[in-house]
Amino acid sequence: MLIVMKPQASEEDVRRVCEKIASMGFRAHPMPGAQRTAVGITGNPGALDPEEFETLPGVAEAIRVSKPFKLVSREVKAEDSVIRIGPPGSDVTVGGRELALIAGPCAIENRQQARAAAAAVRKAGARMFRGGAFKPRTSPYSFQGMGEEGLEILAGIRSEFGLLIVTETIDPENCDLVEKYVDVLQVGARNMQNFSLLKRVGRSRLPVLLKRGMSATLDEFLMAAEYILSEGNYNVILCERGVRTFADHTRNTLDLSVIPAVKALSHLPIIVDPSHGTGKRDKVIPLARAAVAVGADGLIVEVHPDPDRAASDGYQSLFPQQFETLVEQASAIAGVLGRTIALDPGASVSSAAVAEKI
């Protein structure tokens, strides 16, 4: 059930609707929009009677929501969500007209490597830095990340380079630690249906980057996001990173059709990871272009100062120079769609440069 308030409804009206919902033993999710506020109801075992709500002051209508997902649905919130990243005052966002650019190495290996990567991606214009401190690896004998020391290095990158930090959190307890250091909590593909973790990040104050599972259907992907929203955290960024198929010319098959499919059903932003989505360095730039062209809200890209010596995923990491090329080409394509990539003001790849080169 979704309660849509009238445009002129007061805060008092919204409060009264929420109290009514709580008194029935359910959970109210007020979602202020540009035009008017909607209030989602969750926890109700079956259909509710719209009349119970439509008679309250300020209520425009009560709508039965037909999809299995509610809070992530456009039925509940028609406008695109724009997620603000970083401390108060930060103007970095994901969603909306500006495309987000997140880049950095697969794993933080040491301070020097992290600084070199940060310098490179910032030079090319990225405003967010990715880097794993806790790495889920197929083998227990592979490098599992630097742990808290890696988080400290990431915090140093933020101070020194002004980049906002995106890193993966791997379990509820680990989340307590990670959220002290970073700006965006990443939930990896293997954990997309780790519901304990989803609930935990749903109670975080930080935005969440949720990667699609390797064999997740669209419904399962959106329901995973619904877990996070249902706990009260509405700041979820979806991420397509390739799915598992029979095709063997790439490590995963990047499913770009999921971008318009998500946008038709949900107000949440969705970005694309062409690095994991292809698993091959020489496919990253073409697929990054395609991701922007299809309508993604941003890119997350692996860049390493010395890919051939990377502790993990080196074969899919771009050289810094390649990343600059990616930014130029992606910016130009964004321009065709009437969008821009939000670049760091001091970036070598300026909008002017892009316009000139084409």
Name residues contacting a second copy, limited to 81-120 (CB under 8 A).
Answer: none
User: Least Å distance between CB 35 and a second copy?
Assistant: 24
Residue entry with tokens 């790495």: 135
Give SS3 for 291: helix
Name residues contacting a second copy, limited to 116-145 (CB under 8 A).
Answer: 136-141
User: Least Å distance between CB 13 and a second copy?
Assistant: 26
User: Least Å distance between CB 176 and a second copy?
Assistant: 11
Structure tokens at 224: 């995973």
Residue entry with tokens 């991420």: 239
**Among 203, 336, 346, 355, which residue sits at the site for a second copy (rule: CB under 8 A)?**
336
C-alpha 48/C-alpha 187 separation (Å) is 33
C-alpha 214/C-alpha 243 separation (Å) is 5
Give CA 107 to chain center in angstroms: 19
Contacting range for a second copy; rule: CB under 8 A; set: 92-100, 154-162, 248-256, 299-307: 248-256
Provide the greatest CA pair distance for the chain.
Answer: 66
Name residues contacting a second copy, limited to 181-240 (CB under 8 A).
Answer: 190-191, 193-197, 199, 214-215, 217-220, 223, 226-227, 230
Contacting range for a second copy; rule: CB under 8 A; set: 78-86, 150-158, 279-287, 302-310: 279-287
**Among 66, 205, 249, 356, which residue sits at the site for a second copy (rule: CB under 8 A)?**
249
C-alpha 75/C-alpha 277 separation (Å) is 30
Contacting range for a second copy; rule: CB under 8 A; set: 14-22, 89-97, 125-133, 250-258: 250-258
Least Cα distance to 118 among 133, 103, 135 occurs for 103
Name residues contacting a second copy, limited to 19-38 (CB under 8 A).
Answer: none
C-alpha 16/C-alpha 354 separation (Å) is 52
Decide if residue 248 touches a second copy (CB under 8 A): yes
Contacting range for a second copy; rule: CB under 8 A; set: 16-24, 109-117, 297-305, 330-338: 330-338
Phi and psi at residue 249, to the nearest 5°:
-85, -15
**Among 7, 32, 57, 68, which residue sits at the site for a second copy (rule: CB under 8 A)?**
68
Decide if residue 179 touches a second copy (CB under 8 A): no
Q: Give how many residues touch a second copy by CB under 8 A.
A: 72
**Among 153, 254, 311, 327, which residue sits at the site for a second copy (rule: CB under 8 A)?**
254
Yes or no: say if 92 and 117 are a contact pair by the CB < 8 Å rule: no
Strands 184-187 and 208-211, by their bridges, are parallel
Nearer to a second copy, 37 or 331 (CB): 331
Nearer to a second copy, 86 or 322 (CB): 322
Strands 37-42 and 2-5, by their bridges, are antiparallel
Residue entry with tokens 């399962």: 220
